[in-house]
Amino acid sequence: MGASFNAFALIIVIGRVYFHQISAQENSPFLYEKFPGGFAWGVASAAYQVEGAADVDGRGPSIWDTFVHIPGNIHNNDTGDVACDSYHRFREDIKAMKHLGVSYYRFSISWSRVLPDGTLGNINQKGLNYYRTLVRELLENGIQPFVTLYHWDLPQALQDHGGWLNETIIQHFSNYSDLMFRELGGQVKHWLTFNEPFIVSWLGHGIGIFPPNIKRPGTGAYIATHNIIKSHTRVYRLYDRNFRSTQRGVVGITLNCDWAEPKTDTEEDRAAAERLMQFRLGWFANPIFGNGDYPQIMKSLVSAKSKFQGFSKSRLPEFTEEEKRENNGSYDFFGLNHYTTVLVNDNTHQSLQPDYDQDSDLGMSSDPSWKGSASVWLKVVPWGMRKLLAWIKNTYNNPPLYVTENGVSDCGDINDEDRIHYYKFYINEMLKAIRNDRCDVRGYMAWSLLDNFEWLSGYSEKFGLYSVDFGRADRARTPKASANYYSDIVRRNGFPTDSSMNYIQFESPDRDMFLKGTFDEGFVWGVSTSAYQVEGAWNVDGKGPSIWDTFSHMPGTIADRTNGDVACDSYHRYLEDVRILNQLGVSHYRFSISWSRIFPDGTISSLNPLGLHYYGRLIDALLTNNIEPMVTLYHWDLPQALQDQGGWTNDTIIGHFNDYARICFSNFGDRVKLWITFNEAFVVAWLGHGIGVFAPGIKDMGTTPYIVGHNIIRSHALAYNTYNRLFRNHYGGKVGISLDSDWFEPLTQSTGDRLASERALQFKLGWFANPIFGNGDYPSVMKEYVAKKSKRQGLVNSRLPEFTTEEKRMNRGSADFLGLNHYTTRLVRYTSSPRVPASYELDQDLYTTYSPCWNTTVCDWLKVNPWGLRKLLDWIKNRYNNPTVYITENGVCDTGEVEDKGRISYYRGYINEVMKAVKLDGCDVKGYVAWSLMDNFEWASGYSQKFGLYKVNFTDPRRPRTAKSSARFYSNLRSNNGFI
């Protein structure tokens, strides 16, 4: 609610208390176990409660600013004018969160700080800058923002026009939300539209004890709710339509509810408890998470009461059929605020006075044995948490859920043992709901980070993990005992029996150990680039256009609207590249050949001697400097002329690729001993032909990626066979393929998650590796799942093509080594995907996420988790009989700083995991090739993300290269052949 004020606490049912029977669930033993991996631990606050700065930097007044300045409304006439002064002291809040170790901060935006009069006609840039800065600094400190758009503080200017009782509010809220998505959506991945709309509706527009002070108990609350739900739905659909594909966030709503326990075990009281759940939670949840409409019991009772009271129609508004459709499913997750439990008894009301509170025909009380708190309405009843979560699961088909508020009030003691007790048992009941009841709870936000302005109670009730001295101008923050306790829960990710257990459980005691030592003599140290990313000269010396030339010139395809026309200009400055390679001291340089520079139209008939001459000169220069070339034939830049004929979807491409490979083998094979046919075939198939974010920009998620993958594998096998027949005896080189894969770690240790993790590996790496390094065919689990999904979609044949017996024979063993590109790890959880649409991703019945404990980078997909590389190498060893492996890409992105300490840390950690894989696990890894030699054109990200050991000045026509700190580190590592 900030702590949820319980309006029902105002209704005291006087009489004998009937003690209900304690169920097995209520007295189940304390569960010593951890939460699932990736569980989101956080803390919460709200703008009016902590920010202060009420009239600073152009902020307009909200309804709470008006309300608190009316004498008698707030305990001790306190106000939120200064509160915790977080507007000026948010960095202190971030420091406190860092101490807690939380990975999420749920805060709200003050609508009137960004739009002083609530409308787009008056945008306050200073307000926007405040939230931009807050979000940025949270992320810089490893804390993810979890943002609430509306936490009760409506701009007063909108209230003057009727506020939530005027339908025009829907468009104003949509405009405000659209602005915030545009301003912050690139960084904010979790959005809440409303916090506790029940409070807004009933306390604000029903009994009027909260602003805007409207007392219309029979109609006001229902009208306000109707407009709030429609506002939520419009904003959810707005995000879905305009922002989801680019920002990839999720949108939910936070609803508050006590658990309603029947006062007695009679049928009447059980029915009354269910009515309370429907009137309190279902009022908002059923339209959004249910069938799109209000609960049937609510519609029936309010209609009957309205008729009895002389109304011509129900006081409960009706949704149109279109509105119901829009409401239904307008969520990505369920936000739940829960604090306490109430006892409910049947109590029929037949009043002529319309009143939401009496429409549900029930009464409420509490058990006198329940422990109290500083808030009269808040009794400590931990088992109610588990029961409520199970009710939501069973009623709304187990939606993804975040507990967005939970906590207890006291007088503000630093040694707050009661709060420790509260968190311990409430959080444990949540753990039982996850582990035992299979509730899909994703995270927990403790209320609250700080003691703050607690609405009507002012500063008399304290919910904070940190004490705030409101008597001091600097609002000094002091951690309470509960802060240390909660930090311990976060660190241990729950309640393991062994308190020394780390957050991420691992199988071997040496997982986080750093291994000193050196690699074997002859270990390959190299760096990597690719043609389109560095060469430039896109239309020089007869080169034909590639699909990336076409794609990057299309508006809206590249993040920073750049292209690779010049890039690092390596076509003209390759000797400079050789110079810095020499400076690094590497033994190998992995680069790619531009197919359209050799064959401008993709076919042998268009052979371009100038293209051959360029690569011949580059190879000779490398060898002169004792640097071995490691050559990739295809790094995504298909000649556009072949794409015009269908590209990788047309199996004539197989012959064209073989012609191209044969010419390269014959012209350069005497000097090139390591060949890679394809780089990251998965990216070509899925990003290029599935979701279409890479060239050639084809969007067909269900079929085309499999066709493309099929033709790439057949092309590889034929080119390998060609090398074997015509060149191996003459040149003695080796031919492999570079495949990319994350490590996929089970989110939990459940059988479903472990199997899903294996499936993810088979669908990503096994898709291409199994035909080549395995049995010549696709992984059996991939064939099974795609065939099953295809059949359910009404298809006669599987969307996954089949290899002939002869093709399987050619595929099997068609590589001398595996090139592995690896950057990050994902956590995997089993999920049953819908039947439609047809999609490679949905075929797998899983979803992936990242652990919030892993360091973030400027690439949203790249989280730093070194031990995943060792696990992946071990999996390859065991799955494919320990093939020879070269790490052909591994690196990390940043914004291009020369003092790139993050990259040094990344290389140190990941390369040490390679050493462990070799020395401790026996993996046959022959070399490590860092990505990349220099900053370059990073595909759809343009030049906004930098992976280079060398900085390139792209504003200087000479494209000067400057060594970064990581270049010196990598050079020393190469000189020492490891870690001495």
pLDDT in tens, 202-227: 999 999 999 999 999 999 999 999 99
The predicted-structure confidence for 361-415, as pLDDT tens digits, reads as follows 999 999 999 999 999 999 999 999 999 999 999 999 999 999 999 999 998 877 7
Q: Which one-letter amino acid corresponds to residue 913?
A: E
Q: Which one-letter amino acid corresponds to residue 866?
A: P
Q: Which of 274, 323, 680, 913 is catalytic?
A: 680
Over range 490-519, report the average pLDDT. Answer: 73
pLDDT above 60 (res 686): yes
- Look up residue 201 and give its DSSP letter: I
CA angle 230, 234, 239 (to 5 degrees): 150
Residue listed under structure tokens 């096994």? 766
CB 696 within 8 A of CB 643: yes
Q: Report the alpha-carbon distance of residue 33 to residue 616 in Å, rounded.
A: 61
Q: Is the dihedral of CA 413, 418, 421, 424 positive or negative?
A: negative
Task: Tell me the sheet residues that pair with 885.
Answer: 818, 925
What would the 3-class secondary structure string for 845-911 be? CEEEECCCCCECCCCCCCCECCHHHHHHHHHHHHHCCCCCEEEEECCCCECCCCCCHHHHHHHHHHH
In the predicted model, what is the mean pLDDT of the chain? 94
pLDDT above 90 (res 498): no
**Is the omega angle on the peptide bond into residue 696 within 30 degrees of 0, that is, cis?**
yes
- Spatial neighbors of 683 by CB under 8 A, at least 6 apart, are 636, 694, 740
Q: Report the alpha-carbon distance of residue 962 to residue 973 in Å, rounded.
A: 19
Q: Give the length of the chain.
A: 980
Q: Is 758 a catalytic residue?
A: no
Task: Tell me the sheet residues that pair with 446.
Answer: 43
CB 221 within 8 A of CB 193: no
Residue listed under structure tokens 């390998």? 720
Using N-to-C axis directions, what is the helix angle for 965-976 and 570-584, rounded to 10°?
50
CA angle 619, 625, 626 (to 5 degrees): 90
pLDDT band at 753; cut points 50, 70, 90: confident
Q: Report the alpha-carbon distance of residue 971 to residue 967 in Å, rounded.
A: 6
Q: Report the alpha-carbon distance of residue 618 to residue 451 in Å, rounded.
A: 66
Burial status of residue 522 (CB atoms within 10 A of its CB: 0-12, 13-18, 19 or more): exposed
The reported pLDDT for the residue numbered 978 is: 98
The reported pLDDT for the residue numbered 847 is: 86
- Look up residue 605 and give its DSSP letter: G
The predicted-structure confidence for 546-576, as pLDDT tens digits, reads as follows 999 999 999 999 999 999 999 999 999 999 9
Stated pTM of the model: 0.56
Percent of the chain with pLDDT over 70: 96
The predicted-structure confidence for 411-438, as pLDDT tens digits, reads as follows 887 778 899 999 999 999 999 999 999 9
Q: Is 591 helix (H, G, I), strand (E, B) or coil?
A: strand
Q: Is 889 a catalytic residue?
A: yes
Q: Is 323 a catalytic residue?
A: no
Task: Tell me the sheet residues that pair with 336.
Answer: 255, 403
The reported pLDDT for the residue numbered 476 is: 85
Q: Which of 51, 183, 196, 323 is catalytic?
A: 196
Q: Which of 261, 323, 326, 405 is catalytic?
A: 405
CB 463 within 8 A of CB 407: yes
CB 454 within 8 A of CB 470: no
Within a 13 Å sphere around the CA of 523, how many CA atoms are in the beta-carbon half? Answer: 22
Q: Which one-letter amino acid corresponds to residue 356?
A: Y
CA distances in angstroms from 574 to 217, 413, 531, 621, listed in the order given: 78, 68, 11, 9
Q: Is 98 helix (H, G, I), strand (E, B) or coil?
A: helix
Query: Where are any strands of DSSP class E within 209-283?
Result: 250-256, 259-262
Using N-to-C axis directions, what is the helix angle for 125-140 and 86-100, rounded to 10°?
20
The predicted-structure confidence for 317-373, as pLDDT tens digits, reads as follows 999 999 999 999 999 999 999 999 999 999 988 889 999 999 999 999 999 999 999
Q: Is 680 a catalytic residue?
A: yes
> Where are the alpha helices (H) located in 109-196, listed in sequence order?
111-114, 125-140, 156-159, 168-184
Q: Report the alpha-carbon distance of residue 692 to residue 706 in Å, rounded.
A: 14
pLDDT band at 235; cut points 50, 70, 90: very high
Q: Report the alpha-carbon distance of residue 925 to residue 332 in Å, rounded.
A: 42
What would the 3-class secondary structure string for 327-393 be? HCCCCCEEEEECCCEEEEEECCCCCCCCCHHHHCCEEEECCCCCECCCCCCCCECCHHHHHHHHHHH
Q: Which of 261, 429, 889, 938 is catalytic?
A: 889
pLDDT band at 849; cut points 50, 70, 90: confident
Q: List own/partner pairs for 485-489 with CB under 8 A and 24 or more apart.
A: 485/420, 485/423, 485/424, 486/100, 486/423, 486/446, 487/99, 487/100, 487/101, 489/41, 489/423, 489/427
CB 571 within 8 A of CB 614: yes
pLDDT above 90 (res 478): no
Q: Is 314 helix (H, G, I), strand (E, B) or coil?
A: coil
The predicted-structure confidence for 706-719, as pLDDT tens digits, reads as follows 999 999 999 999 99
The reported pLDDT for the residue numbered 21 is: 35
pLDDT: is 527 or 477 the higher one? 527
Residue 581, token pair as written in the block: 């390679």
CB 48 within 8 A of CB 110: yes
The reported pLDDT for the residue numbered 507 is: 52
- Beta carbons within 10 angstroms of residue 410's beta carbon: 20
CB 890 within 8 A of CB 930: yes
Residue 757, token pair as written in the block: 């993790």
β-pairing, 846-849 with 825-830?
antiparallel
Residue 84, token pair as written in the block: 């915790």
Nearest-Å Rg of the Cα atoms of the chain is 31
Q: Is 245 helix (H, G, I), strand (E, B) or coil?
A: helix
Q: Residue 708's closest CA among 737, 678, 735?
A: 678
Q: Report the alpha-carbon distance of residue 632 to residue 531 in Å, rounded.
A: 9
Express the helix, strand and coil content of the chain in percent, nearest 5 each. 40, 15, 45
**What are the strands of the beta sheet with 846-849, ordered from one edge?**
743-746, 825-830, 846-849
CA distances in angstroms from 192 to 150, 180, 253, 334, listed in the order given: 8, 12, 5, 9
Q: Report the alpha-carbon distance of residue 33 to residue 464 in Å, rounded.
A: 26
Query: Where are any strands of DSSP class E within 182-314?
Result: 190-195, 250-256, 259-262
Q: Report the alpha-carbon distance of residue 774 to residue 770 in Å, rounded.
A: 4
The predicted-structure confidence for 54-105, as pLDDT tens digits, reads as follows 999 999 999 999 999 999 999 989 999 999 999 999 999 999 999 999 999 9
Q: Residue 428's closest CA among 863, 89, 36, 31?
A: 31
> Where are the alpha helices (H) located in 762-841, listed in sequence order?
767-773, 780-792, 805-811
CA distances in angstroms from 165 to 76, 159, 161, 197, 737, listed in the order given: 30, 9, 9, 13, 64
Q: Report the alpha-carbon distance of residue 209 to residue 67 in Å, rounded.
A: 10
pLDDT band at 852; cut points 50, 70, 90: low
The reported pLDDT for the residue numbered 9 is: 34
Residue 247, token pair as written in the block: 């920002």
